[in-house]
Chain A
Amino acid sequence: MTAPIKFYQTGTFTVGNRLLSPEQRSVQSSLERSNSLNSGHRACQGCGEALGARYAVDAAMRATQGQLIAANATGCLEVFSTPYPETSWQLPWIHSLFGNAAAVGTGIAAAMKVKGRNNVRVIAQGGDGGTTDIGFGCLSGMFERNDDVLYICYDNEAYMNTGVQRSSATPAGARTATTMAVGAEPGAQFGQGKNVPLIAMAHEIPYVATATVADLHDLETKVEHAMSIRGARYLHILVPCPLGWGAASQDTIKLARLARETGLFPVFEAEGGEVTAVTKIRRRVPVEEYLRPQKRFAHLFGAKGQQQMLAGIQARADRNIKRFGLLDVETAE
């Protein structure tokens, strides 16, 4: 195959597996995929987290030839996957607590090391609440010790399992059950929240990456790369939540793509604390295009709209674009 591969021939930015040689196709396109998070679970229609977890864990399973153990934080992913006696997990899996998935991962990795089973690898996973809030201490400890764990955060920007409450990953302006769209400054406050990928980088761990469920190949490649590295690794995946975001369930992938294309969710990789690659924005769109389809931002629009807040969100996207160099020079404004 000598001709350059054109991924986006359909005009919808869909990555076509058929255009690739079999070995380059996605894990999900393969009948050999492990189906680690098997069908029949109880996630909502259009759940970004279920999608993200399936892609990520299957990719990690392929990268480790199935020698993988997962630790899971409390949250949607845990609840919808294991209403015993049913379990969707087709790999060894443990759920302990909301705030300790990273530490449980450390313990499993230590056990494998002490038993000389270095081929068995460990992932720990949780939602944004379990990662950026309640599990943050354990996460930072695992990073700092450089334990051999890939931590995957499925970020849907609020506590969805408990009924859509604000987390430290909730974006400014978003309505949640604890940041209602009422008062002079409706929704989540500006100037709060934390950027865990950047904080992970500050630990100078071997590998940090962000991804979305809109880019399957990109996500799988990052997981595969992460599994080729020893030490603490962090993957932060944006996973839209139709229920919590007030979005149509068929828009999950579209919204994930728009989050990237607006610059609100920069997709990048970093090694040893330095950014090594960014996914460029292909067709820049104003943040309104991303915000409008989501009811959690409905109060920003209309007659009583919040122009200032919209401008603030746009400014944040602009800052990301500049900070991470998300636009090619020729297409930059």
Chain B
Amino acid sequence: MQKQIEGSRAVAESVALCRPEVICAYPISPQTHIVEGLGELVKSGELKPCEFINVESEFAAMSVAIGASAAGARSYTATASQGLLFMAEAIYNASGLGLPIVMTVANRAIGAPINIWNDHSDSMSQRDCGWIQLFAESNQEALDLHIQAFKLGEELSMPVMVCMDGFILTHAYERVDMPAQAEVDAFLPTYEPRQVLDPADPVSIGAMVGPEAFMEVRYLAHAKQTMALERIPQIAAEFAQRFGRNSGGLVRDYRCEDAETIVIALGSVIGTLKDTVDELRNDGVKIGVLGIHSFRPFPLAAVRAVLQGAKRVVVLEKSFSVGLGGVVSTDVRLALSGLQLNGYTVIAGLGGRAITKASLARTLRDAIADKLQPLAFMDLDWGIVNRQLAREAATRRSGPIAENLLRDIGTVASKVH
């Protein structure tokens, strides 16, 4: 059914269609509308049987989900940013225990300075935690990925994060096609746990494992992610067959066939990139976009296959490994081992800095002319950066950094170029 609704509402309704049995809710922007929607669906009786638990922290949210999942209940929660970091210990625990919890991450920057707007720093900080990480390009895809996520996670007994851009997607009202309950029921089987806490068959879960088997346990987590590399495209194909649209999968390329330059990105910015690429194509530039929809497991072979014929690759990143550069770029580089390609990392959109078509076109034209720095920062205000560096060089006690910058630019709103 076609609906014109907020992204968060779409996700809430989609999660409800998956018949979760335990939902843990803790508010954090920009995720909050999702659990609000689910809370309403549970309280009104539309979603039942389901326990909706208002917990006291994100750490508790994940911990309650761990208990519920280990006791055989389909479990869901949602978070973002600081919340994701606050639950980090439990995130590793959930994957280590092999519990197929599904969690929406409404991607948001991490402080300090505190910032509620979108980038990918939060989920990418947890890239090694053993969770599958799927990235949505649109609200429709976010909705669809949740249905796929429960299926994937429960098959493999691994937890899945569905990442969607905070505000840009979560708060955008768009038309989405909401599946019917019967369709989802036919696609998603009931949860049959691999291990379950049950007095009828007592097991101990979560024992200490020493050097004799720890590496093997970790390898098995990797083996499951490798299996996910196979299952993700299969599940996306099954989904397409049943629901009539392409959502998910490992990667999706756009106008890459004869492209000399390929831009790699994740999430909603892919849409803006496609428009930019169309305009550049009109000018005769051979350029395409490769959207990565599964960040973990990282589809090395699929990325390599698309990039094989290209001359250069630009990785557009909404995340930043301070002291190194790109997070995704590092993975892409691994995919390109042995290939001779000019590679560029463009850090863009941190903390909600708008990524405009104009800036993208300018940056990509620089890349095509091979004039771009290997590590570029799109729309970075070098003026205030250099003035702050000068202040710090001149005065030891030069004051708090973020506050100095805000004073310098004379505004408290996020700056849009």
Contacts and interface: CB of A to CB of B under 8 A. Distances in A.
Interface of A: 66-69, 71-72, 78-79, 82-84, 87, 89-97, 99-100, 103-116, 120, 137-138, 140-141, 144-145, 147
A145 B55 CA distance: 8
A97 B203 contact: no
Nearest to A149: B67
Interface stretch (B57-65, B237-245, B320-328, B353-361): B57-65
A92 B65 contact: no
A83 to B, nearest CB: 6
11 contacts: A90-B202, A93-B203, A95-B204, A95-B205, A99-B59, A107-B64, A107-B65, A108-B68, A110-B67, A115-B72, A141-B57
Given A107-B75, A108-B197, A113-B51, A96 B208 contact: no
B172 to A, nearest CB: 32
Contacts of A110: 21-22, 51, 53, 64, 67-68, 73
B89 A141 contact: no
A145 B67 contact: no
Interface of B: 21-22, 24, 49-51, 53-57, 59-60, 63-73, 75, 89-90, 93, 97, 197-199, 201-209
Contacts of B57: 137-138, 141
Nearest to A119: B199
Contact of A107 (B66, B97, B203, B204): B66
Given A84-B207, A103-B66, A138-B59, 7 more contacts: A79-B208, A82-B206, A87-B207, A93-B203, A116-B49, A138-B57, A138-B63
B199 A103 contact: no
B67 A96 contact: yes
A69 B197 contact: yes
A9 B202 CA distance: 41
A144 B71 CA distance: 22
Contacts of B66: 96, 100, 103-104, 107
Given A89-B202, A114-B73, A137 B22 contact: no
A79 B208 CA distance: 7
Contacts of A83: 207-208
Given A84-B208, A107-B69, A137 B56 contact: yes
B55 A141 contact: yes
Nearest to A89: B204
A91 B71 contact: no
Contacts of A115: 21, 49, 72-73
Contact of A93 (B53, B67, B73, B204): B204
B84 to A, nearest CB: 16
A96 B97 contact: yes
Q: Which of B24, B55, B67, B93 has the most CB of A within 10 A?
A: B67
Contacts of A87: 204, 207
B63 A96 contact: yes
Q: Which of A83, A84, A93, A104 has the most CB of B within 10 A?
A: A104
B93 A92 contact: no
Contacts of B50: 114
B208 A103 contact: no
**Across chains A and B, which 7 residue pairs bring their CB atoms closest together, nearest first?**
A107-B67, A141-B56, A103-B63, A95-B206, A111-B71, A100-B63, A104-B67
Nearest to A104: B67
A72 B209 CA distance: 16
A103 B73 contact: no
A108 B70 contact: yes
Nearest to A69: B197
A115 B199 CA distance: 14
